[in-house]
């Protein structure tokens, strides 16, 4: 299990569902509990959760999670 799968599963246990979108290498948060995200971070298109690895075997690179959790609290 990758670290992004672990992150999403742990949030589900807390009652938070994330809908993610990908555009290599960026991974965006599209919705939180069905609410569409309007904020943008590190992109003109959406709120970037992190970057997918370029080489096989590397881990997903999260951007600072403090901002992500602030966004989750706002939309929950």
Write the CA distances from 23 to 10, 12, 72, 74, 76, integer angstroms.
24, 23, 21, 25, 25
Query: What are the domain boundaries of the chain?
Result: 1-6+35-76
% the chain with pLDDT above 70: 99
Give this prediction's pTM. Answer: 0.88
Residue 74: pLDDT above 90?
A: yes
Tracing tokens 């602030």 back to the chain, one arrives at 70
* Tens-digit pLDDT profile for residues 13-28: 999 999 999 999 999 9
Whether residue 32 has pLDDT greater than 80: yes
pLDDT at 1 over 70: no
Judged against a pLDDT cut of 80, whether residue 48 lies above it is answered with yes
Contact call for residues 4 and 60 (beta carbons, < 8 A) = yes
């Amino acid at each position: 299990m990758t670290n992004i799968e672990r992150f999403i599963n742990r949030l589900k246990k807390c009652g938070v569902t994330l809908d993610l979108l990908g555009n290599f290498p960026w991974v965006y948060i599209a919705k939180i509990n069905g609410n569409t995200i309007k904020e943008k971070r590190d992109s003109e298109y959406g709120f970037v959760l992190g970057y997918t690895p370029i080489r096989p075997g590397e881990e997903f690179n999260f951007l600072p999670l403090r901002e992500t959790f602030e966004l989750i609290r706002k939309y929950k």
